[in-house]
Chain A
Amino acid sequence: MNNSILNISLNRGTARIKAALFLGIIAFVIAFSVSVNSTAIAELLRPAMSPEVLSGMWGRVSCAFVMGIVVSILTYFLLALPEKLQSRLVWGLLAIGALSAFYSFDLSFTFIGNKIPFLISQGAVTTIYVSAISILLAFIFAMLGATAKLSGISILKGIGDFYTSYFRGVPLLVQLFLIYLGLPQLGLVIDPIPAAIAALSLVYGAYMTEIFRSGIQSISMGQWEAADALGLARMRTFQKVILPQAMRLIVPPTGNQFIAMLKDSSLVSVVGVWDIMFIARTQGRADFKILEMLITASIIYWMMSMLLEVLQNRIESHYAKSLKH
């Protein structure tokens, strides 16, 4: 039994040929429209085709045509592989494609090499610890917020509603400025990093409050009633019956929020926190090599997000145990 949306098999027959041709045509159109013959990818064709053949409109067509054929053949053979291997290979090929696109930008790699140690030792470390503390606090705020909203006590619900309304409704950057510049007017002079952590955790806590609330509310009333019938106290029911089931629905969107927060932490560079984005911008601007630093920063962010993805998958499968028979 599977639950995929399409029940098409592309492993053999005409479906396999059609799929291969279809992807080949898409590759041709993309390669043609970005005039692939003038990029570094064309260098790969250099042994087979002379520079004259590769230039001009004709070069653009023929180069794109070669790309289309290559993609078609690749797809055709790919479709014969086991399914799991297929998706992994496609992921890998796309990653290589993205990286080679970066490569074709004509970047100074010695510059990147010189700057990467500091980008990691100062920038990535700051980003990680700011995000980690914010994630932890956001989780606590979300738990409190959801509990308040579902407590059945009107005053608590009012507080919870106000919290999610305000902190979801005002942009993160504005919150950050309000906390950093506004609090000192009330006599509380706050440093950049605590201000950043406060803004990130309050805003993401508000988003996650709603995720937690909807997850908890999606568990059917029957579960509460059954627990009531067994004489379980309400709080105990919540902890032992409702929350474990709700977690299955809460974890995927929460993982999403964590990944989003990791990247939104780059906003803190505006108040002078030396995170990845700050170092990348500063070093890039000072040496007029902003693209180099932005691409390096994007790869570091991407790798950190992938780690969070793995973590999310682990937690997801832990809470999905009840579904496996």
Chain B
Amino acid sequence: MKKIIKKVLLSAALVAVSASSTSYAGKVIDTVIDNKLLVVATNSDYRPNSFLGDKNELEGFDIDVSREVAKRLGVAVKFVTPGWEIMTAGRWMGRWHMAVGSMTPTVKRAEVLDFPAVYYFTPAGFAVHKDAKAKSISDLNGKVIGVVSTSTYHRYLQKNLNIDALGTPPFEYQVTPGDIRLYGDVNEFDDLALGEGVRLDAIMQSLPVIKQAIAKGIPVKTLGAPVFYEPLAIAIDKGDAQFGNKIAGIIETMKADGSLTAFSLKWHGADYVSVK
């Protein structure tokens, strides 16, 4: 009887161990090469990085980078647009191979995802209504600030932003908001456009997005200088170092031959590839 129990326990432990240590080493890269298809998860509404353009196809900086990576891998590329929460949750189960969605490699995200390569940096800043009285960022203390839920800007406002990527410039928390309003499906710019203090006093976003909003005629303006520069990285599912090295190598050569900078100039109107 004891023997049987021992056997059962042993085999149960074996099953548990083999299940917990699912190793993906080399698995993703093999699927990509075998199927000649790289499936990339990205955003669909993040102008100018990835958005549905006039031709109803995805375009933008992230899209161009993904296409180039696929080209250098010698495979075709396909885009999927899962929600941001799903993309950042990890455990992709092979649904897509990498995420090129202007994702910041925070410590928290690194617990569920690997970030093999930083491909550009984005300045983050504040925007206020164009008739706003606020003169400097310190005027925003105690005010209502809108921000995309679970974004790095959200963490910044909570004074809880940990970016563990190499080369991240140091920064200080310059604002203590009175209230943080979170946005997901509703655009925070729409609420700010209603006027200063109607629903929001300010919003925090990446500078390229704020610039796009101004260009699209939204009555907002930037306030002060960028408060931090965040690195943005390509994300892959945990545990496939071989795939990660391959991606890192490709991004390295794209930096060296200037193709990344060319994409950045095309979509951002400035070189965000190397931090200034």
Check B82–A189 contact: CB distance below 8 A.
no
Q: Does B83 contact A (CB under 8 A)?
A: yes
In the bound complex, do residue B218 and residue A272 qualify as a contact, i.e. CB atoms below 8 Å apart? no
- A282 B52 Cβ-Cβ under 8 A: yes
B45: contacting residue among A180, A181, A185, A285, CB under 8 A: A285
Q: A290 near B91 (CB under 8 angstroms)?
A: no
Across the interface, A284 reaches (CB within 8 A) one of B83, B187, B213, namely B187
**Contact, CB under 8 Å: A290 / B95:** no
Asked if B81 and A272 sit within 8 Å, CB to CB, the answer is yes
Complex interface: chain B residues within 8 A of A35 (CB): none
Q: Is the CB of B47 within 8 A of A184?
A: no
- The residue among A118, A279, A282 with the most chain B CB atoms within 10 A of its own CB is A282
A189 pairs with B95, CB closer than 8 A:
yes
Contact A291 B190 (CB under 8 A): yes
How far in angstroms is the closest Cβ of chain A from B113?
15
Chain A interface mostly helix, strand, loop or mixed?
helix
Contacts of A288 in B (CB 8 A): 187, 189-190, 212-213, 216-218
Contacts of B228 in A (CB 8 A): none
* Given known contacts A271-B83, A281-B185, A288-B218, A185 and B91 CB-to-CB distance under 8 angstroms: yes
Q: Is the CB of A122 within 8 A of B216?
A: no
Residues of A within 8 A of B (CB-CB), count: 27
Q: Digit string of A274-309 for contact with B (CB within 8 Å is 1, else 0)? A: 100011011111111111000000000000000000
Cα distance A180–B83 when bound, in Å?
A: 12
B190 A184 Cβ-Cβ under 8 A: no
Q: Is the CB of B83 within 8 A of A270?
A: yes
Give the nearest-CB partner of A114 in chain B. B54
Nearest Cβ distance between residue B153 and chain A, in whole angstroms? 16
- Asked if B89 and A181 make an inter-chain contact with CB atoms under 8 angstroms apart, the answer reads yes
Chain B positions within 8 Å of A191 at CB level: 95
Known: A281-B185, A286-B47, A288-B213. A189 touches B93 (CB 8 A): yes
Query: Chain B at the A interface: mostly helix, strand, loop or mixed?
Result: loop
Q: Which residues of B contact A281 (CB under 8 A)?
A: 45, 185
Tell me if B21 counts as interface (CB < 8 A to partner A): no
Q: Residue of A at shortest CB range from B57?
A: A118
Contact A184 B187 (CB under 8 A): no
- Closest Cβ–Cβ distance, residue B29 to chain A (whole Å): 19
Q: With contacts A272-B82, A282-B51, A285-B45 known, is A290 near B216, CB below 8 A?
A: no
- Asked if B122 is at the interface (CB within 8 A of a chain A CB), the reply is no
Q: Does A192 touch B at the CB level, under 8 Å?
A: yes
Q: How far is the CA of A191 from the CA of B86 in the complex (A)?
A: 13
On chain A, the residues within 8 Å of B189 by CB distance are 288
Alpha-carbon gap, A192 to B95, bound state (A): 10
| Cβ-closest chain A residue relative to B58 | A282
**Does B82 contact A271, Cβ atoms closer than 8 Å?**
yes
B56/A192 in contact, CB under 8 A: no
List which A41-65 residues lie within 8 A (CB) of chain B. none
| CB-nearest residue of chain B to A273 | B81
B44 to chain A: closest residue by CB: A282
In the complex, per-residue mask of A121-159: 1 if CB is within 8 Å of any chain B CB, else 0: 010000000000000000000000000000000000000
Query: CA separation between A255 and B196, bound complex, in Å?
Result: 46
Out of B52, B82, B190, B218, name the residue touching A286 (CB < 8 Å): B52
Rounded to whole Å, the gap between the CB of B156 and the closest CB of chain A is 21
| A270–B213 CA distance with the chains assembled, in angstroms | 24
Q: Which residues of A contact B56 (CB under 8 A)?
A: 118, 122
Contacts of A279 in B (CB 8 A): 52
* Residues of the A chain whose Cβ atoms lie less than 8 Å from the Cβ of B82: 192, 271-272
Shortest Cβ distance from A256 into chain B, in angstroms?
Answer: 26
Does B275 sit at the interface, judged by CB under 8 A? no
Set of chain B residues within 8 Å of A286, measured between Cβ atoms: 44-47, 51-52
Known: A114-B54, A286-B52, A290-B187. A272 touches B80 (CB 8 A): yes
List of A residues within 8 angstroms of B91 by Cβ: 181, 184-185
B94, CB-defined interface residue at 8 Å: yes
Which residue from chain A places its CB closest to the CB of B41 in the assembled complex?
A272
Which residues on the A side are within 8 Å of B52 (C-beta)? 279, 282-283, 286
Counting chain B CB atoms within 10 Å of each CB, the highest count among A180, A279, A287, A291 belongs to A287
B186 at the interface (CB under 8 A from A): yes
Contact B86 A181 (CB under 8 A): yes
Which residues of B are found within 8 Å of A283, using beta-carbon distances? 45, 52
CB distance from A110 to the nearest CB of B (A): 12
Which of B45, B80, B218 touches A282 (beta carbons < 8 Å)? B45
B 78-114 to A, binary, CB cutoff 8 A, 1 in contact else 0: 0011110010010101110000000000000000000
Subset of 21 A-B contacts with CB under 8 Å: A114-B54, A118-B56, A181-B86, A184-B93, A185-B91, A189-B93, A189-B95, A272-B81, A272-B82, A272-B83, A278-B44, A278-B81, A282-B44, A284-B187, A285-B187, A286-B44, A286-B47, A288-B190, A288-B217, A290-B186, A290-B190
Q: Which residues of B contact A (CB under 8 A)?
A: 44-47, 51-52, 54, 56, 80-83, 86, 89, 91, 93-95, 185-187, 189-190, 212-213, 216-218
Apart from A282-B44, A285-B45, A286-B51: 15 A-B pairs, beta carbons within 8 A: A122-B56, A180-B86, A189-B94, A189-B95, A270-B83, A271-B86, A278-B44, A279-B52, A281-B45, A286-B44, A288-B217, A289-B216, A290-B187, A290-B190, A291-B190
Residue numbers of A with Cβ under 8 A of B are 114, 118, 122, 180-181, 184-185, 189, 191-192, 270-272, 274, 278-279, 281-291
Identify the 9 closest CB pairs spanning chains A and B, nearest first: A285-B45, A286-B51, A184-B93, A272-B82, A118-B56, A282-B44, A282-B45, A272-B81, A288-B216
